[in-house]
């Protein structure tokens, strides 16, 4: 299934940005037969929408889509035929899948290149916000991610669902994707975290585990992650609103 598109179609600057879209999950929380990235919103699959938005960003040299080894849907998408789209086979966890994609880029990336990782299920991301992230982190040696300050009151609970304390939300942000890091730093951090059997929930947590502090860049509240069935209707409304605003 691995598809290493010809480098002749990949545009490079002195330093390039490469994208990784993990799409190997089964989306079991959706309760659907299809993996959630292949459910449709307003006539297009979630994954197709995500890829279209990333492909509209000219500064992204290429995108590696990480697929389940038994995936039989991706090749039907129009984006699968794009010369800037490559594939890799995913692993058991998200961090395994991202590392697989990083390994597939060896020999293509340079020391100055960065890697942008974006959830397949965040199909409402606006290209302008991705470009803002790339521009903001251009000279940052650690990297960072999009995020938003939490607006709800947050409670810490016990294993019996009893509240143990109310958290100070003034310093708490909700992490989003894309998350952008130097290629070698991200690869080395993921490898170390996996060897040490650390629980890694996003790329930033691997960087943090290695003692570094990623920068968080203000994103937007409409950059939701489609996770539960109700999220389909919310994402549909967001996309319809974005289309009206663009028109």
Q: How far is C-alpha 12 from the geometric centre of its chain's CA atoms?
A: 21
Phi, psi of 168 (to 5 degrees): -80, 105
Mean pLDDT of the region 13-24: 89
pLDDT band, very low/low/confident/very high, at 245 (cuts 50, 70, 90)? confident
pLDDT band, very low/low/confident/very high, at 247 (cuts 50, 70, 90)? confident
pLDDT band, very low/low/confident/very high, at 111 (cuts 50, 70, 90)? confident
SS (H, E, C) 131-155: HHHHHHCCCCCCCEEEEEECCCCCE
76/31 Cα distance (integer angstroms): 23
Q: What is the pLDDT of residue 183?
A: 97
pLDDT in tens, 62-101: 999 999 999 999 999 999 999 999 999 999 999 999 999 9
Q: What is the pLDDT of residue 32?
A: 64
* pTM listed for this prediction: 0.91
Q: What is the pLDDT of residue 33?
A: 77
Contacts of 15 (CB under 8 A, 6+ apart): 110, 112, 113, 114
CA angle 98, 46, 224 (to 5 degrees): 80
H-helix segments, the chain = 46-55, 94-104, 127-136, 183-195, 203-209, 230-246
Q: What is the pLDDT of residue 6?
A: 46
Tell me what percent of the residues of the chain surpass a pLDDT of 70: 92
How high does pLDDT run on average in the chain? Answer: 92
Alpha carbon distances (Å) from 202 to 7, 63, 95, 214, 221: 29, 18, 7, 12, 19
First to last CA, the chain: 38
Mean pLDDT of the region 112-140: 97
Q: What is the pLDDT of residue 25?
A: 83
Contacts of 233 (CB under 8 A, 6+ apart): none
């Amino acid at each position: 299934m691995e598809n290493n598109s010809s480098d002749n179609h990949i545009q490079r600057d002195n330093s390039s940005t490469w994208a990784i879209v993990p799409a190997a999950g089964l989306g079991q929380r959706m309760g659907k037969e299809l993996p959630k990235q292949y459910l449709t919103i307003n006539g297009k699959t979630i994954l197709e929408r995500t890829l279209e938005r990333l492909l509209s960003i000219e500064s992204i040299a290429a995108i590696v889509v990480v697929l389940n080894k038994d995936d039989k849907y991706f090749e039907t998408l129009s984006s699968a035929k794009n010369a800037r789209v490559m594939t890799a086979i995913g692993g058991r966890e998200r961090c395994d899948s991202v590392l697989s994609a990083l390994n597939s880029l060896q020999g293509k990336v340079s020391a100055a290149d960065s890697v942008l990782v974006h959830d397949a299920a965040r199909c409402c991301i606006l290209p302008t916000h991705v470009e803002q992230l790339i521009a903001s982190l251009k000279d940052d040696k650690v990297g960072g991610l999009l995020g938003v300050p939490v607006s709800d009151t947050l409670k810490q609970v016990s294993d019996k669902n009893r509240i143990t304390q109310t958290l100070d939300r003034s310093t708490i942000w909700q992490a989003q994707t894309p998350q952008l890091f130097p290629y070698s730093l991200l690869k080395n951090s993921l490898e170390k975290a996996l060897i040490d059997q650390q629980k890694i929930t996003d790329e930033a947590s691997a960087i943090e585990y290695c003692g570094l502090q990623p920068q968080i860049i203000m994103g937007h509240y409409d950059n939701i992650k489609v996770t539960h069935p109700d999220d389909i209707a919310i994402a549909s409304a967001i996309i319809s609103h974005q289309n009206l605003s663009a028109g």
